[in-house]
Structure 1
Amino acid sequence: MPIAKKKVTALVITYNEVGYIERCIESISFVDEIIVVDSYSTDGTYEYLLNHPKVKVIQHPFSNFTAQKSFALKQASNDWVLFLDADEVVSEKLKNEISLKVETENDIAAYWFYRDFMFQNERLGYSGWQTDKNYRLFRKSKAKFSDKKIVHETLVVEGKSGIFTERLTHYCYKNYEDYKGKMLSYGRLKAKEAFYREKKFNYFILLAKPTWKFFNHFFLRLGFLDGRKGFIISHLNALGVLEYCKELKRLEKKNELAYYLVMP
């Protein structure tokens, strides 16, 4: 009796991803199930997904990345899950490698993927991203998202991990305002995460952390070799850290005000 093919579910979370989600969905059409959890997009993303014959789309309110991805994971029908960002694309060679790994390597619970970062349609060679890797393919029964982080969520894996040779393509930079908005949003979410962990704001951190972020990405991680693109990425990453510091200060002030308001 022939052995049944192992099925794969692709998961994506979205919010206003027109111009990116189409390419992502096309690149994962080889999987057995595609589920997208949309947090009430207003740019046509939901309508595109609703009318796509291979996609099951569910709208769910967004509170943080970990909660949204954990919700999406529960919707998957298959044990093997390929979890992508809406601006990531799977190449033909990577498709073949995914199919081969799922069918032949039975002792692996999750796989790391390296990523090529794209500045619009040009690859970033440096700027801190050259060693970036994330879990993207894993067994649902062997992994879950840690509730200790609400942004840049962490996958907790029970079992052995493997790593792919081929890279994901990540279209991280659409334009200046889009990437700036993304970095500011990440900064605010990281501040909430830090606040819940009782980390404290101080002015030294406000001065030091953004400066270090820029210096690290542009000089130590060789962003200057990417030229103008490297400068923009390093600057906006530092801006995200600055927003983290400012938001942490705002949260502390808000908490202090609430405390004094309830004092007898």
Structure 2
Amino acid sequence: MSNLEPMTCEHQQLQVKKRRSIRRAMRWDTQLPKDLELKLWQDPHGLLDQGETLHIKLSCSVVKLQHEGDTYVFKCQDLNDLGARAKNALSKTTGCRSMQNSTYLYRLGIPTPRPRACIETTVGPFKKRSYFLTDYVESTTLYRLMRHGSPDTARLQSIAEQIADILERLDELKVAHKDLKAENLLVDPLGKVWLIDLESITRYRQHCKPFRQRQGRDVSDLLHPRNWRSNPAAAEIVRQAILKKSFAAKLIEQSDEARQYLGEARPEENNSEQLFTVLIPSYNNAPTIASCVDSVCDIADEILVVDMGSTDGTHDIVRNKGIGCILGSATADRCEVLEVARQQAQHPWILQIMANERLNPELGRQVQDTLFFNPTKDGYRIGTTPCVQGTHLRYGGFQRSDSVRLYRRDLGNYELVEHMPELQPPDHRIGVLRSRLAVRTPESVVDDIKERVTASTERAERDFHRGQRSTWPKLLWRSSRKFIEAYLLRHGWRDGWAGLHACLMAMLETYTHEMTLVYLERSPEIEITAREAPRRAA
């Protein structure tokens, strides 16, 4: 490799040790503190619970750790799906690839945080989780800097030149990043650019056409207009810096995607049709409203929280974040309140998210891409995936995909679905987005049970007054059938302990619903009220 390295390249010293047992394997930097090394080996998941959450994705959690005055980033990749475990049985996990690739680039002087350790835990021949520890760099992502910062021209020029230097160095090493989005470039307070998320990089033996095409996709991902919506002119500065490098001409020649973004200047103004408002209906969601708002603040052009008369301090949390809040009373029609909020939205598109949901970065990029390329649909359905104690459920039938969450501001009417208003649009011109929203359940099992029992009891009362009845045989059969269907027939067992917990909670909901119907039918006063209600209404 020495013949490829320019004279200005600064080599970094990094020595790695290895350790393996029946249930786990670990590689770590020899300069890692001994007590932290021991904690990582004995209980890596315990360290994850002690950290400050930075990101939560469908199968990945990232936290910030403090240890004896030093700060680290700790990343956990869950392999709860048995299919994923089988796939990774004979291949490297995300943590292992991250450690290997980060060590390789760090030693060659690429500006990336120093890798510290990776751990893999196994269950028999299958890998269960992988962890990756790096130094923490006080910084902001390039995407967030463009969205919320106001860098001057000189700073933008410096950032663009550093990005071009990194791309040139990767070209010399014949390395493709394969995920070079603006979120994977950090800018520290001194203006230095850092490259992160290296688990997907690929090394090539020569500057072949497949390498150029992969490199072209990296450049197109970086220069995509979604990264520069708040400052489109900055994209042109980065483009010009890349064009000054010697590899740019060959890249344009051999990659159609690179030619699209490097070959011509992009518009310096946003199309107003690409802008959207995030509506967040909320009722007593104090534990989750902050994380919900944080998940959309980077991509939203406007955020409106619609409080349906909360009494747990939800409004105060929203106000402290400086987010617009529309207040409604607990007795008001929730559909009418949300309709008023929709009319106050400033942008032509609405993205509706419930207060106990989180927008993952992949879905955020998909929403922006959909609006950028002149959508032909009037609305898009977005599914939801429940998250139970940090594990996203993929099986058991708990995922939903029937809600229209991204839609034009003047489309359709709202109707109540499980106590919250959802859009009921015309059947035509409705599309589907691939990614899903993550629905968080209460962290406490007691709170989870209380919430489910309350919801199923209220639903049973409504069903009773509509004429629905139940019996003891139906109660036993329907609750048992719910568990068998979710856990066995719909493969809930593939989600591990989280799947078992979710299936038991679903059985509890069904049992509570049917038991409430039986109780209401045996209560004379309620029975008389139910019989006389239609007459009195008439």
TM-score, normalization: structure 1?
A: 0.83
Instruction: Please tell me whether residue 52 in structure 1 is matched to residue 52 in structure 2.
Output: no
Q: Tell me which amino acid in the other structure corresponds to 2:481.
A: W
- Tell me the SS of whatever aligns to 2:339: helix
Instruction: Please tell me whether residue 121 in structure 1 is matched to residue 387 in structure 2.
Output: no
Q: Call closer, same or farther: CA 1:261–1:83 in 2, change over 3 Å.
A: closer
Contact 2:483–2:504 (8 Å) recurs in 1: yes
Higher-Rg member (1/2)? 2
- For 1:28, the equivalent position in structure 2 comes to 296
Mapping 1:1-264, distance limit 5 Å: 3-29=271-297, 30-53=299-322, 55-62=323-330, 67-76=333-342, 77=345, 78-130=347-399, 132=401, 134-146=403-415, 149-151=417-419, 155-158=423-426, 159-252=428-521, 253=523, 254-258=525-529
Higher relative contact order (CA 8 A, sep 6+): 1
Deviation at 1:170, TM superposition (A): 2.2
Q: Call closer, same or farther: CA 1:204–1:74 in 2, change over 3 Å.
A: farther
Contact 2:391–2:498 (8 Å) recurs in 1: no
Q: Call closer, same or farther: CA 1:9–1:70 in 2, change over 3 Å.
A: farther
- Tell me the SS of whatever aligns to 1:247: helix
Q: Work out the CA distance in 2 between the residues paired with 1:44 and 1:131.
A: 29
Q: Work out the CA distance in 2 between the residues paired with 1:14 and 1:99.
A: 24
Q: Work out the CA distance in 2 between the residues paired with 1:104 and 1:239.
A: 45
Which portions of structure 1, spanning 4 or more consecutive aligned residues, are displaced by more than 6 angstroms?
259-262
Q: Tell me which amino acid in the other structure corresponds to 2:467.
A: E
Deviation at 1:258, TM superposition (A): 3.5
Q: Call closer, same or farther: CA 1:187–1:145 in 2, change over 3 Å.
A: same
Deviation at 1:42, TM superposition (A): 4.3
Q: Call closer, same or farther: CA 1:85–1:113 in 2, change over 3 Å.
A: same
Determine what percentage of the aligned residue pairs are the same residue. Answer: 22
Deviation at 1:70, TM superposition (A): 4.8
Contact 2:304–2:324 (8 Å) recurs in 1: yes
Contact 1:70–1:144 (8 Å) recurs in 2: no
Q: Work out the CA distance in 2 between the residues paired with 1:19 and 1:166.
A: 24
- Tell me the SS of whatever aligns to 1:9: strand
Q: Work out the CA distance in 2 between the residues paired with 1:141 and 1:251.
A: 42
Q: Call closer, same or farther: CA 1:217–1:193 in 2, change over 3 Å.
A: same
Q: Call closer, same or farther: CA 1:70–1:25 in 2, change over 3 Å.
A: same
- For 2:112, the equivalent position in structure 1 comes to none
- State which drifts further: 251-260 or 203-212: 251-260
Q: Call closer, same or farther: CA 1:261–1:23 in 2, change over 3 Å.
A: closer
Unaligned runs of 5+ in 2: 1-268, 534-538
- Tell me the SS of whatever aligns to 1:108: coil
- Tell me the SS of whatever aligns to 2:367: helix
Deviation at 1:110, TM superposition (A): 1.7
Deviation by residue 1:65-110 (Cα, 9 ceiling, x = unmatched) = xx43552233122442211121211122322211222243443122
Q: Tell me which amino acid in the other structure corresponds to 2:526.
A: N
Deviation by residue 1:180-214 (Cα, 9 ceiling, x = unmatched) = 12221221232233234322233332222111111
- Tell me the SS of whatever aligns to 1:10: strand
Aligned residues: 259
Q: Work out the CA distance in 2 between the residues paired with 1:17 and 1:211.
A: 31
Contact 1:111–1:163 (8 Å) recurs in 2: yes
Q: Work out the CA distance in 2 between the residues paired with 1:31 and 1:209.
A: 43
Deviation at 1:162, TM superposition (A): 0.9
Q: Work out the CA distance in 2 between the residues paired with 1:63 and 1:234.
A: 33
Q: Tell me which amino acid in the other structure corresponds to 1:44.
A: G
Q: Work out the CA distance in 1 between the residues paired with 2:450 and 2:354.
A: 17
Contact 2:338–2:421 (8 Å) recurs in 1: no
Q: Call closer, same or farther: CA 1:105–1:241 in 2, change over 3 Å.
A: farther
Q: Tell me which amino acid in the other structure corresponds to 2:410.
A: S
Deviation by residue 1:33-52 (Cα, 9 ceiling, x = unmatched) = 22222244444322111122
- Tell me the SS of whatever aligns to 1:125: coil
RMSD, matched Cα: 3.1
- Tell me the SS of whatever aligns to 1:142: coil
Q: Work out the CA distance in 2 between the residues paired with 1:7 and 1:50.
A: 23
Deviation at 1:231, TM superposition (A): 1.8
- State which drifts further: 129-138 or 178-187: 129-138
Deviation at 1:168, TM superposition (A): 1.9
